[in-house]
Structures are given as structure tokens and as C-alpha cells.
Amino acid sequence: MVWKEPLFNKGPFQNQYGKVMREDKKIIFRAAIFILLDFLVVAAIRELADIYGEWLWFKSLHYAPVFWTMLLAKGLVGGGFGAAFVLMAGLNMYLARKAGPPKGPWELSYRTQEPEGVRVIRLKPRQVNILLVGVCLIFGLLMGLWPAFSQWDALLRFWHQKPFSLSDPIFHRDIGFFVFSYPVYLFLQRWLFCSLLIISLLVGYTYVKDKAMNLKPGQLSFSRRAKAHLSILNGFILALIAWDNRLKTFDLLYSNRGVVFGAGYTDIKAQLFAYWVLIAMAAVCALLFWFNTSAEGWRWPLIGLTALMALSILGNSLYPWLFQKFVVLPNELSREEPFIRHNIYYTRLGYHLDQVEEKEFRVSAELRSENIGANFLTLKKIKLWDKSPLKQTYRQLQEIRLYYSFTNVDEDRYLLHGQKTQIMLSIRELDQDNLPTQAKTFENRYFKYTHGYGLCMSPVDTITEKGLPKLLIKDIPPISQSGLFDISRPEIYYGEKTTDFVIVNTMSPEFDYPKGDINVYTHYQEKAGVPIGSFFNRLVFSIKYLEPKILFTSYLRPQSRILFHRQIKDRVKTLAPFLTYDRDPYAVVSDEGRIFWILDAYTTTDKYPYSEQIFLFSNSDQTLPVALPLSEGQMVDSKKINYIRNSVKITIDAYSGATAFYIADEEDPIIQTYCKIFPQLFKPLAKMPQDLRAHIRYPRDLFEIQANMYRRYHMGDAQVFYNQEDLWDLPLQRGSGQSGSQMKGYYLTVRLAGCAEEEFLLMVPFTPHNKSNMIAWMCARCDGANYGKLLVYKLPKKTLIYGPRQIEARIDQQTEISSRLTLWSQQGSDVFRGDLLVIPIEESILYVEPIYLLANDQSNVPELKQVIVACGEKIEMRQTLNEALQGIFGAQEISLVSQQGPTYDAPYQPAGADLHEQPAEAVDWRGLKPLTKESIATADQSIIDLAKSVSRYFQAATDSFRRKDWAEYGRCQAKMHQAIQDLSAALDKSEKMKQQISDHNHQNHQPKNHYSGKDLSNKLAHRQ
């Protein structure tokens, strides 16, 4: 390599300064190479440490085969494509260098800011060859990394694909071709096109430097070998353009040109024809270039290219535009009708809306007393607590120390004393960011403060006298009311805020929980995590996390282990990065008293033919969803889909970190494909422990996506869909003092019309587009054999049914209510209006909205002070739901248990309603009627009937046990338990009644005392 220095090419200083400059340049060049190599070595060591650490982590979870499958796939794909590029480029560079006469040196010139101006580097032929090899290797690395990181899973799906057993309506290919094969063909075409383009540029540059080509204006010339070589390469590029147009014919199934998503009339009748013309023209151009290898000049290839460009403009823009304007638009509905039907059919399939069952919901004017009696459990279990105020209450009352945090509030249901009870709970996690600055030491962050502790749990329908939630589980260590739960493992090592690694089983005991003025310490009891006691592993993880203190700390011992990937989302994304995850992992308590996280995962694609595409927008650190049609624009951090299935349920032990993936939808071809790729990762849902399986629920994110799509796609008639005559909206509600917030799906316990018992549902109402009245409501069933069933109840269009927004407006128009809310605000309290719930009961709609007060002081604890209930034309705001329902239906119509105090400790017994003074006759505590011998006889008969029920349920449970029908066995056990409780209550009641009759007779039937309504309510509350 020789440096030509124009400044010193003459004079006495030429040899002296030229030699010095050359030596300096060599030193600088060698130093640069040394620094580059050092950087590559350090990067390689860091990458190897990361790979080794990740392998140890996968191995600790018994998922080592999953790790090797992903690593080998990335390695083979990246290595294969990189090697393919190097071979193609190397062969072409070899042909270019070996062609023609012997090659001279290359002169590479560049301008500088120095006085000498232009510098020239002269490379000898051997140095040129080394340079070209280096360039090929660099481009090979880049062309290998591209598919290694973006296409490894697509290629695995391609090799292991399962058919959908359903064809598209245009090309009649299995849907699996579009989901699994088509994306790979698109990538291969683009990769080959980019590769040939790069190789052509490198070959052309080589020929120019070897003086086999001259590209100067007016002096254009090619050697015969250079012309033949470039003609062959250009011919292959044109062949790839022909292939690209062939692939574009399939892409018509995702067209946005027509009135709906998918191929329309113009696409099929005009654009498809244009693509075939372009395919033929590109193929002709390729042949012209190949035949030009032995011809003179470039005339025919250039004519072909000009024709191809003209046809591209005509076929891709002008012709389809004219066809759409003059053929389709004048008769749009008749032309597009079959394609609208395709869009409706395949969109419903893509979002699983084909399984929606529609029913009529005939709304009566009033909720009758017999309906109230049949639905007393629904009324009793109405949800009164919203997540936001409840989380604030938990934080104020139960965080206990500054480093604890309640991140989220989850909703679930538990069987408590034989009754299905909807509850809300929140995990008490340890947030290291809340530690004082001086406490954020290496020891505290990674050895001492390693885990959260316990949880809070409360029923959704219960409040205390002070308007606070009635806590089923509280405090540290966890205290469970009435022994309902025994939390055996309250430690939270894995959660939503556990972002840092921690090291356990060290010489430094871990902080467990505070106890008065002292702290309790512990050591980790599981063998989970990665061993870090050896010097080599310490070195690996100090490099992986760039934390040298790991290597030099004296706290580690042979049994020490490092726990990382502790954040729930990060954990599952590392194990299965190809799935899409729900925003809300929720915690459950197992029968053994361990805390588990359950997370829903989805299989998605954006290549389902004719299915409407939407974007899923990330929300801070969340994943799903804000679902909007493509027409409403793309935003940052979005994912495009048009097919989604809740195919996987994931459980994570909050203490050990044990993670299991269960297949929830075995009919989904995508998850079937992944099962072939990763057979060790997935298990059948039947293998999920029964106590955890009882807590799976229909995911809210999926439900909201489906509800958003069903706004339009409930219209099955093509003409109605074209005119958007029956478009629905998700209703707006005021809630939280905000104007125009969109209503979200909510969980509730309700008995559907025609069903025997209450069940856990996820539901949301609909309103007509740009209207406020209610038109329908949608629900997803969450329990037992009905899990996953979607129901839509359509309301009569001729009857006005108030929507949430209208109810909010009517509440504001109630002078008494609005004045009281205003008065509270003026008295120094913030009024928080909870989410308005629309609750279907028989053939009526009930609306419930809780009202919370927040004092303007440091405590800022939300208290549930009022409940607004609306039904028909009536609206009442009272201190409790009981009183509000009594105000709506009257004391003789409704009688619910008091919501002050736990409703789960005893069998349900309705309390009195808005009682006036009663004479001190013998009183029936259930019905509030004077007692007689006839009523006692009726009670005795009830005892006999209940005893028979206990016997009947016991026999049914025994039969189920023999058949090993565990689901039916559990139901019979629950019913038997409830019947026993009712029998016990009836016996107790009978004794009370007889005692009252005796006392009454002893007093000669003379009433001498009166119960006030308050006294009687207190007595009833005590009784409950």
C-alpha cells in the first residue's frame, strides 16, 4: 500500500517527509485495526456471556430445548443467508477480477480539509483482493443478521406449518399458505433483490476500477466480459421483479382500495390483469438482458426497461383508477357486494366472531317483584368498587412501608363458604425505586430487598360502616378473615415491578417483612434460579450485567443463586417471544396458599385473507390493545393484526418463578404449528392444576378487540354493511369526572335469562353510532363448560333504552343529587364518580354508579359514601345499595342483606328494608311478618325440605365421584355445602321463632316496646 502525497512529491524533503508520513500512516492504521479488533473481542465476550447466562436460565426452568431451538434457528438462518450472500458475491467478484487482461493497482482518492487537498491510496492487486473479500464478508454479515433476527420464527413456521383447512375465495389456496408460506416468499424475494443489487454495484465498481468499464459522460464503454456479466445479473434482477409482481397478486387480498378491506372489484378485474401483464413484461426484459450477453450495445434491454416502466405506471396507477372511476363507482354496491360478503365472513373468522350467539332481549318497563326474588344473588353481588379508588385505598391502608407498592388491582372469583364470590385483590410488591437514596446500595438492591410480601383482597360488593372495603386478606404477615385463606408462601419474588436481578441464599439474610420496630429476615427456600457460587458463573454474570461487584463480593457462597427475568412480561417474552401478550397479568391464590400469576397470550397474524386489519397500540409498558381500523392511521409502537386467538394460558409461581404454558385453543393452526416447533414448551390445558384452572377468565383485551370489531361486523347483510345503516359504538360515560371516556368491558356476577344460577361474566353495552341510547350488550362467559362463549343481546329498536351517557345526564339533572355532590365538593372533599355499570336482570336493565369521597388531606383515602341506582324512569342515591334499591322498588319489593360487613360469613339472608316502627309482636326476622303457628309449621316444613336437599346432593356427589366426573362432583359438593348452611340457619330460625312465640304468650300478647328502624337494622346486621 503506497500513499501519494502531492505536497512532498518534489524537492529535497520528498524522501525524508514522505517516509515519515508513510510510517505515521502505518502506525495509525495498525492502531485503528487494533482498536477495532479489541472492540469486536469485547462485544463477542459480552455476547457469549449473555448467551451462556440465558442458557443457564432456560436450563433452570427445564426449557433448555426451547433455548437451543431458538438459538440454532437464529444461527442457521443467519449463517445460511450470510454464507449464501458471501458465496454469490465472492463468485461474482472472482469472475470480475479474473476476467480480461492482468489487473493493475487501484487508486482510491478522497478529498481532505488539509492544505494538500486530495489524497490517493494505491492498492496492489493482492491488497485489492483482500479488500473485496472483506467487503463481501461485511455485507454477508449484514445480510445474515437481517433474517437471523427478523425471520427465524417465520422460517420455523414455514417448515412446520399446519393447514387451516379453509381456502381463500379468490385463489382457492389454504389459509395456511398466506399465514405461513407467503411471508417467507416475500422475504426471500426482497432478500434476493437486495443481494443482487448490492452484488451488481460491487461488480460494476470492480469493472470500473479495473478499467473494464468507463462511465464518464460521452465515453461510456464496456468490455465484452463486463457487459455479459452485468447483463446476466440484471436479467436475474428483472426475474425477481417478475416474481415480485406475482407475489403482489396474492397481496390483493389485503387491498384497501375498495369499500372494504380485501380484494374488491377493481382489484380482481383490473389490477390482477395488470399484474399478469407486468409479470410477462418483466420476464421478457429478463430474457432480453440474458440474450444481450452476446449482442452489441444495450438497445433492446433498454427498450424493454422503458416499456416495463411505462406499463408499471399504467398498470399500477392509471388503469385501476380509470376502471374504479368509470366502471365501479357508478354501480358500486352491485359490483362490490360479493367482496363485501367475503370481508364480513373472513373478518368474523379472523376475530372469532363467527361463534357469537345473538339473542333478543325484550325489555319490560318495570322490574317486577318476582324477578327481584329470582335474582337476589345478582343484586347482592353487584360490584361497588372500581379499580382506581380501591387501589388508592389499598395504598393508604396497606402499603405499610414506603418500599411497598400496589401496582394493579385484579378481579377474580372464589368459592367462599359454598358461594361464588367476586373479589378484587392486589399484590404487595417491593419497589426498590421507593427506597431512600442512601439505602440504594449494592447490597440492599441485590441481596437484601429481594421480594414483596402478601396481598390485599376484598369482595366487590361489601363495604364497612366507614365506606371502606372489607378486607378478606390484609396486613403483614397476611391475616385471612374467618380462616378463608391460608397464605403459605406470601413472598413475591416475581411480579410486575420486579425488574432487577437479585441474588439469594447468600451470607446476607434477606429482608422478609417488618414486625413492629424490628425486621424479620429469611433465606430463599427454593432451588430455583441459576447457581452463581462458582467463580466462572460469577465472572459470566458480572460481564452480562456489567457489574464487577458480583465478581468481588464476599456475600456469595456455593449454594447462592441469581434470580433474573423476574418481571412477568419480560419472563414470558424471553421464553416465547413469538406470542402476543395481554396487558394484565392477574394474581390468584391456590388451594395450597401459594400466589400465582396467570397471563393470557395470543397467536396473531396480519395475513388472514379478507379480514379487516387493526393496529394494537402499546400503552406505556403494556402490549395490548387499542384497536383501530387501518383507515384511522398508524402510530408508534403498533402491531398490525387481522387474526387473533387466545391460544395460551400461562401460570407463574410468584415464589419459585416456575412458568408453564398451557394450550387453551387446540384448534388454532398457529399454536399447533408452534407445538411442533417447541414440543417441550406447551402443555394441554387439562394438565393445569384444577385450583388454578378454576380462575381462568375471558381476557379483557381480547374482549375489547372483539367488541370493537363487532360494532361493524354484527351486520351480516352486504347492503346494510355497505350503507353502515346499523353501525354501533361503544358508549361514552362520564366516570371519574371526565367527559367522553369510552366505556370498557367489566367483570360482574349475574344470572343470564334462562340460566339456573349466577355466573362470572365480562360484558359491555353498545349504542347506535353517534347516539346515546342503548341498542345491545355483549358478554363473554367465564365459568365451566360455558367458558369462552360470546353472547350478544339485541334490544328492541322501537323502545328507548337509556344508555350510560343518558343515565349520567339524568343523574346530573336530579336536583337533589347534583346539589349534594356540589355541596360535598364545596366542603373540601373531592367527589369521585365511579364507573357506571349496566346490569341486565331478567327483562330489565339496572344502572349502578358508586360515589366516593376523598378528603383533601394527606391520607386521601377514598370512601364509598353513596350509591346511585337507576331503573326505568327512577333514580335514587342512597348511602348503601340496599337503601337505593329500596328507594327504587319500595320496601315491600326488595330486601337485601346489609352491605356493611362481610356477606360471605353466613348463608345469604335478606335484611329488612327501610323499616318503620313495628309493634313488639313475635316477628319473623326473614320476612318481617308477625309470627303464627302456621308460619312455624311452614318453617318446619322448610327444614324437612332442606334436609332432603342435603341428602339428594350428597347422593349426586357420591355418584359423580364414582364416575370420576370431578367438575360435577365439585358443583354437587358446593350445593350440598350451601344446603347444609341453609339448614343450619333454618333450624336456628325455627328456635328463635318458637322462643318469640313463647315470650309473646308470656306477655299476654301486649306490645310494650317498639323497635325503631335503626334498632331493627342494627339487630339484623348483628344477625347477619
Tens-place pLDDT, residues 372-428: 777 888 888 899 999 999 999 999 999 889 999 999 999 999 998 888 899 999 999
Categorize the per-residue pLDDT at 860 as very low, low, confident or very high, splitting at 50, 70 and 90: confident
Whether residues 550 and 635 fall in one domain: no
Cβ neighbors of 381 (< 8 A, separation 6 or more) are 421, 422, 460, 461, 748, 749, 758
Predicted local confidence at residue 23, as pLDDT: 64
Predicted local confidence at residue 251, as pLDDT: 96
* Helix, strand, coil content of the chain in percent (nearest 5): 45, 20, 35
What are the angstrom distances between the C-alpha of 409 and each of 393, 488, 744?
Answer: 11, 21, 16
Predicted local confidence at residue 991, as pLDDT: 65
Whether residues 474 and 606 fall in one domain: no
User: pLDDT tens digits for 737-756?
Assistant: 445 678 999 999 999 888 88
Residue whose C-alpha is closest to residue 389's, from 57, 1015, 987, 832: 832
Predicted local confidence at residue 1021, as pLDDT: 36
* Domain-ending residue, one of 696, 723, 740: 696
Cell of 70: 431458538
User: Does residue 326 lie in a domain region?
Assistant: no
What are the angstrom distances between the C-alpha of 263 and each of 170, 178, 269, 320, 641?
Answer: 9, 14, 10, 13, 17
Give residue 637's region: left, alpha or beta (phi > 0; psi -120 to 50).
Answer: left
Categorize the per-residue pLDDT at 369 as very low, low, confident or very high, splitting at 50, 70 and 90: low
Whether residues 555 and 593 fall in one domain: no
Q: Which of 75-79, 102-106, 639-643 has the lowest mean pLDDT?
A: 102-106
Query: Cα separation of 378 and 367, whole Å?
Result: 13
Cβ neighbors of 748 (< 8 A, separation 6 or more) are 381, 382, 383, 422, 760, 761, 763, 837, 839
User: Does residue 975 lie in a domain region?
Assistant: yes
User: pLDDT tens digits for 861-902?
Assistant: 899 999 999 988 899 999 988 889 888 887 555 555 444 444
User: Does residue 352 lie in a domain region?
Assistant: no
Cβ neighbors of 493 (< 8 A, separation 6 or more) are 450, 451, 502, 524, 563, 566, 654, 655, 656, 657
Categorize the per-residue pLDDT at 191 as very low, low, confident or very high, splitting at 50, 70 and 90: very high
DSSP 3-state of 643: strand
Q: How large is the average pLDDT for residues 37-65?
A: 94
Q: Is the pLDDT of residue 547 over 50?
A: yes
User: Does residue 976 lie in a domain region?
Assistant: yes
Q: Which of 106-120, 348-362, 652-666 has the lowest mean pLDDT?
A: 106-120
Residue whose C-alpha is closest to residue 367's, from 782, 719, 874: 874
Whether residues 536 and 521 fall in one domain: yes
Query: Cα separation of 204 and 212, whole Å?
Result: 9
DSSP 3-state of 331: helix
Q: How large is the average pLDDT for residues 251-272?
A: 95
As beta bridge partners, residue 629 has 614
Whether residues 654 and 529 fall in one domain: no
> Between 561 and 939, where is the model more confident?
561
**Beta strand 1010-1011 pairing with 918-919:** antiparallel
User: Does residue 552 lie in a domain region?
Assistant: yes
Cβ neighbors of 718 (< 8 A, separation 6 or more) are 333, 337, 338, 340, 341, 344
Cell of 963: 364416575
Q: Is the pLDDT of residue 578 over 90?
A: yes
Whether residues 622 and 519 fall in one domain: no
* Domain-ending residue, one of 696, 725, 751: 696
Categorize the per-residue pLDDT at 429 as very low, low, confident or very high, splitting at 50, 70 and 90: very high
Query: Cα separation of 425 and 406, whole Å?
Result: 10
Query: Cα separation of 153 and 74, whole Å?
Result: 8
Query: Cα separation of 34 and 39, whole Å?
Result: 9
User: pLDDT tens digits for 11-20?
Assistant: 444 455 455 5
> Between 855 and 188, where is the model more confident?
188
Predicted local confidence at residue 891, as pLDDT: 57
Predicted local confidence at residue 824, as pLDDT: 83
Centre a 10 Å sphere on the Cβ of residue 487 and count the other Cβ atoms it contains.
20
Whether residues 468 and 582 fall in one domain: no
Q: Is the pLDDT of residue 1009 over 50?
A: no
Whether residues 535 and 423 fall in one domain: yes
Predicted local confidence at residue 978, as pLDDT: 74
Whether residues 519 and 655 fall in one domain: no
User: pLDDT tens digits for 308-318?
Assistant: 999 999 999 99
Q: How large is the average pLDDT for residues 948-954?
A: 74
Categorize the per-residue pLDDT at 996 as very low, low, confident or very high, splitting at 50, 70 and 90: low
Predicted local confidence at residue 141, as pLDDT: 93
Q: Is the pLDDT of residue 926 over 80?
A: no
Q: Is the pLDDT of residue 561 over 90?
A: yes
Average pLDDT, the chain: 84
Q: Is the peptide bond before 477 cis (omega within 30 degrees of 0)?
A: yes
| Percent residues over pLDDT 90 in the chain | 60
Predicted local confidence at residue 965, as pLDDT: 64
User: pLDDT tens digits for 779-801?
Assistant: 999 998 999 999 999 999 888 89
DSSP 3-state of 680: coil
Q: Which of 298-302, 489-493, 970-974 has the lowest mean pLDDT?
A: 970-974
Categorize the per-residue pLDDT at 631 as very low, low, confident or very high, splitting at 50, 70 and 90: very low
DSSP 3-state of 655: coil
Tell me the HSE value of 76 on the side-chain side, using a 13 A CA sphere.
10
Q: Is the pLDDT of residue 604 over 50?
A: yes
Q: Is the pLDDT of residue 954 over 70?
A: yes
Tell me the HSE value of 915 on the side-chain side, using a 13 A CA sphere.
24
Whether residues 551 and 573 fall in one domain: no
Q: How large is the average pLDDT for residues 990-1019?
A: 44
Q: Is the pLDDT of residue 685 over 90?
A: yes
**Cβ 658 vs Cβ 637: under 8 Å:** no
Residue whose C-alpha is closest to residue 110's, from 257, 3, 236: 3
Q: Is the pLDDT of residue 54 over 50?
A: yes
User: Does residue 639 lie in a domain region?
Assistant: yes
Cβ neighbors of 181 (< 8 A, separation 6 or more) are 158, 161
User: Does residue 457 lie in a domain region?
Assistant: yes
Q: Is the pLDDT of residue 22 over 70?
A: no
Q: Which parts of 151-298 fold into alpha helices (H)?
A: 152-159, 175-176, 182-209, 224-251, 265-266, 272-291
Q: Is the pLDDT of residue 575 over 50?
A: yes
Whether residues 680 and 660 fall in one domain: yes
Which range of 92-101, 578-587, 619-628 scores highest in mean pLDDT? It is 578-587
Query: Cα separation of 736 and 740, whole Å?
Result: 11
Whether residues 456 and 554 fall in one domain: yes
Predicted local confidence at residue 1004, as pLDDT: 43
User: pLDDT tens digits for 902-912?
Assistant: 443 333 232 33
> Between 211 and 646, where is the model more confident?
646
Structural domain including 684 reads 566-696
* Domain-ending residue, one of 565, 597, 612: 565
User: pLDDT tens digits for 55-103?
Assistant: 999 999 999 999 999 999 999 999 999 999 999 999 999 998 886 666 6
Cβ neighbors of 676 (< 8 A, separation 6 or more) are 160, 162
Categorize the per-residue pLDDT at 924 as very low, low, confident or very high, splitting at 50, 70 and 90: very low
User: Does residue 744 lie in a domain region?
Assistant: no
Predicted local confidence at residue 908, as pLDDT: 29
The total number of structural domains in the chain stands at: 3
